[in-house]
Structure 1
Amino acid sequence: MKQNQWTALGLIGTAVLFSLSLWFSATVIGPNLKLVWGLTPTTEAWLSASVPLGFVIGALISAYFGLPDRFNTRKLFAISAFIGAILNLLLIFVNIASIGILIRVLTGLTLAGVYPPAVKLIAQWFPKQRGLATGTLIAALTLGSSLPHLISLIVVVEEAFLVLFISSTLALISAFIVGMVLVDAPTPSTKTHFSMKTMKRVLNNKPVMLANYGYFGHMWELYAMWTWLPAFLTASFLTYSSSLDLGLSVFVSFLAIGIAGGLGSIIGGILADKIGRSNLTIISLSVSSVCALLIGFTFGSNIWLTITLALIWGFFVIADSAQFSVAVSEFAEVEYLGTALTFQMCIGFLITIITINLIPWLQMWVGWEWAFVVLSIGPILGIVAMVKFKVYEKTQESQLDYSGYSS
């Protein structure tokens, strides 16, 4: 059965959207798990950080053994999504925090077999015109990550564990879509392997490392914002008026993370090709850092200002995400591109574990008014890196223009 690339993009995007619902499926029912599992502030934070930890472990294992190159990428995605769905479903029967956190780590490990292979599938189907395709993929990831918030709106509190069942079902559907409906791309992508032997070349490549530093600053903020914005909104809205429906904070969280974030991913990808990757990342990092600095000061006061800042933050916090990887791919030699991208992803997700754990402790010590301020540090440092990266980007553009003129 033949498929065109846009049909394939629709199938891959839908599969990523459904499977990434596993990421925050336990987080959105945190209050219920807190009662059932007897979560402490420490174990609650580690529950949120467990999936990124598993993702890093899975990405390193996959890269070290070259799983996407040794096995069919499409089938690897399908199997990973299937296993992730089963693990997520098992949480319904768990009543011990340590076992639940372990299962979440394993779920993160399976998602390392979903998202990176999805990126490779896009590369296979789109040897050209990857800007919009990559932006669409990131939009699917963003919307999928926020999907549990939408699911929780239609599930009554007493049946909150239905969120786990529904997200697992969606992941099973994604496994079917990629495994049975999607066909293999007509042309395979170039194989890029991970190798510790080439790490020195990655570390010595200045533009690649500057793009990495920008990405690390971006990741310092991103997943901590995605994880704790819903809790902030709930507390803020209840402080503003105890009579407000709690569903409002959940709905705004879905709009900010999923809808605004999805639009940011697609629009950011389109603009990056027009104004340059460094310019797009600098703008996105600047706006998101300002939102991190300001949103806490709207706590419990002007609800519409809080919502507006949350939507703006949701748009810009993810708008630049894909561009850091694209920047690395443009400056790294093909023989160590796989190593460079694996290094970027693993360090980035390790950083998220720090800030995901940091926010609840800051909230206890200084309150929600100041808790998010620390997240602005990452984007600010990222801006410094991308300003320096811009010099290399301009040099490369000048060389390409000169080459085109000479020919």
Structure 2
Amino acid sequence: MKQSKVILPVIVISQFCCTSLWFAGNGVINDLVLDFNLNISALGHLTSAVQFGFIIGTLVFAILTIADRFSPSKVFLFSALLGSLFNLGIIWEGNNLMSLLLLRFFTGFFLAGIYPVGMKIAADYYKKGLGKSLGFLVGALVVGTAFPHLLKEITDLYSWKSVVITTSSLAILGGSIMILMVPDGPYRMPKKQIDLSIFFSVFNNRKFRSVAFGYFGHMWELYAFWAFVPIMLKKYNLEHSQTVFNNVPVLSFLIIGIGGLSCVLSGYLAQKAGSKRTAFIALLLSCGCCLISPLLFNSEYESLFIAFLIFWGMVVIADSPLLSTLVAQNAPGEIKGTALTIVNCIGYSITIISIQFITEMIELTNSNTIYTILAIGPILGLIALKRKNKINIPNTE
């Protein structure tokens, strides 16, 4: 019993350490642009490279049912070590855009053995209160994702390479902690054989399909918002002909990182209101942020604009742990890890489309209305969740 109280904090710390690899390239993008003579559009391409790597990784992990056939903690460690190695490759002075894209791709590939596997480990330990547990876990992902922006500011007196070295070191630490302190959970149901039909058959379950589609709509918005937060801040500065924000990296960390707190809060709220209802409200609020964003971009009050982005940063991720909880609860126990990996695979595939679309729109137009396009995903996600509510009794934690 004493050990179980330690498990969740250990998983959370490990998840934070390892997911700092995700946006390591974004945190030093300006330095990469200067040192390797890249175009400003490299931000979208490098972010998409990580996402694409994650997609291929989750596809391979899902087809081979790796998270269910092997010890999840060992998979986590193996992925953390290789992910940190490819992340470290960024500091090589002979890099060009192609080599950087490949390095970010393979970093993303091995993140497939970190994020969904971390959720699988949590699900193997917690049945009751899984939403709250995943709230902490996804919160760690959010803070880990935002951390390179803060790290860049902290290490501003040093080379940008220190950010990359630090994030790789953290990943190694996170993987080591996981393997040393988190054995296989009591609810783990190992699967012995590869079953290639799982990728498709899991969607035969109508409840699973509904919450998965809600998750897909959420993902259309999430990473595009995260990727372009620094661009939003810089654009606001330019449009107001003054340096309103003197510290874009710190503000970017705050706007993205605050989502970690909202994940924890949504997990607790779900215990009272139910996971589906809480997720629906969060998705509805983030949809509203997409739609009214042009009005706030035109605001002369910088404090209002920052407050808006902070609020958006909270609601854009608050539904994520709840939707993952519903996915885990509606998947067969022996393929729970694979089901989470499949949903992650498709969800992150969608993020590439939205990120690349916004990247192209930025090059074509200077209009602030482009971010309203992000509302498409939440709208479709809300429809999927609403349909589920009509045919099922609301789920409570």
Same fold (TM > 0.5): yes
Distance verdict in 2 for CA 1:391–1:257, change over 3 Å: same
Confirm whether residue 166 of structure 1 aligns to residue 169 of structure 2: no
Shift in alpha-carbon separation, 1:363–1:25, aligned structure 2, 3 A: same
Question: CA 1:95–1:333 in structure 2 vs 1: closer, same or farther (change >3 Å)?
Answer: closer
Q: Which amino acid aligns with 2:282?
A: S
Superposed displacement of residue 185, structure 1: 4.2
* 3-state SS in 1 of match to 2:20: helix
Contact 2:67 2:337 in 1 (8 A): no
Matches within 5 A, 1:213-228: 213-228=213-228
Change (3 A) 1:144 1:114: same
Give, as a single letter, the amino acid of the residue that structure 1 aligns with 2:46. Answer: L
Answer yes or no: is 1:231 the counterpart of 2:231: yes
Structure 1 residues 336 and 246: CA distance shift in structure 2, 3 A: same
Tell whether 2:290 aligns with 1:292: yes
- What do the CA deviations read for 1:143-173 (whole angstroms, capped 9, x no partner)? 1000001101112277222211111121122
One-letter code of the match for 1:236? Y
Shift in Å at residue 198 of structure 1? 4.1
- 2:234 pairs with 1:197: no
* Aligned counterpart, 2:210: 210
d(CA) in 1 for partners of 2:187 and 2:330? 22
Change (3 A) 1:338 1:140: closer
Q: Is the 8 A contact 1:292 1:376 kept in 2?
A: yes
How far the C-alpha of 1:277 sits from its partner, in A, is 2.4
- Quick check: 1:97 aligned with 2:97? yes
CA deviation string 1:15-47 (max 9, x = no partner): 111111110001121122122233235544221
Q: Percent identity?
A: 33
Q: Distance in 2 between matches of 1:176 and 1:395?
A: 39
CA separation of 1:157 and 1:37: change in aligned 2, threshold 3 A: farther
Shift of 1:376: 0.9
TM superposition outliers: structure 1 runs of 4+ over 6 Å: none
Contact 1:208/1:328 (CA < 8 Å) preserved in 2?
yes
Question: 1:293, 1:284 → 2: CA distance?
Answer: 15
Superposition RMSD on alpha carbons, in Å? 2.3
User: How does 1:41-190 map onto structure 2 within 5 Å?
Assistant: 43-93=42-92, 94-156=94-156, 159-180=159-180, 182-185=181-184, 187-190=186-189
Of structures 1 and 2, the one with the larger relative CO (CA 8 A, separation 6+) is 2
Contact residue 224 and residue 359 of structure 1 kept, 8 A: yes
Q: Which residue number in structure 2 is paired with residue 382 of structure 1?
A: 381
**Aligned partner of 2:294: which letter?**
G
Gap regions ≥5 residues in structure 2: none
C-alpha distance in structure 1 between counterparts of 2:338 and 2:373, whole Å: 30
Cα distance in 2 for residues equivalent to 1:200 and 1:186: 27
Q: Is the 8 A contact 2:153 2:249 kept in 1?
A: yes
Unaligned regions of 5+ residues in structure 1, if any? 398-407
Q: Note if 1:14 corresponds to 2:13.
A: yes
- After TM superposition, the score normalised by the length of structure 1 is 0.89
> Quick one: distance in 2 between partners of 1:296 and 1:241?
18
- Do the aligned residues in 2 keep the contact of 1:138 with 1:322 (CA within 8 Å)? yes
Counterpart code for 2:67:
P
For residues 174 and 358 of structure 1, the distance between their equivalents in structure 2, rounded to whole angstroms, comes to: 34
Q: Is the contact between residue 53 and residue 107 of structure 2 (CA under 8 Å) also seen in structure 1?
A: yes
Q: Which amino acid aligns with 2:355?
A: I
Q: Distance in 1 between matches of 2:134 and 2:394?
A: 25
Distance 2:63 2:205 in 1: 21
Tell me the secondary structure at the aligned position of residue 24 of structure 2.
coil
Aligned residue number for residue 404 of structure 1 = none
**Number of the residue aligned with 1:267:** 265
Distance 1:30 1:368, change over 3 A: farther
Q: Distance in 1 between matches of 2:381 and 2:59?
A: 24
Could you tell me whether the CA contact under 8 Å between 1:295 and 1:306 is conserved in 2?
no
Cα separation, 1, equivalents of 2:204 and 2:185? 36
The 10-residue stretch of structure 1 (331-340 or 215-224) with the greater mean CA deviation from structure 2:
331-340
Match of 1:280 among 278, 302, 306: 278
Distance 2:185 2:226 in 1: 36
Number of corresponding residues = 393
For 1:277, give the aligned amino acid. Answer: S
Report how far residue 348 of structure 1 moved: 0.5
Greater helix share, structure number: 1
Does the aligned pair in 2 maintain the 1:5–1:126 contact within 8 Å?
no
Q: Scaled by the length of structure 2, what TM-score is found?
A: 0.91
Q: Secondary structure of the residue that 1:22 maps to in structure 2?
A: coil
Deviations 1:277-300 (A, max 9, x none): 222122111111111222333336
SS in 2 for 1:394: coil
Does structure 2 conserve the Cα–Cα contact (< 8 Å) formed by 1:16 and 1:174?
Answer: yes
Distance 1:310 1:148 in 2: 19
Distance (Å, rounded) in 1 between the aligned partners of 2:203 and 2:246:
47
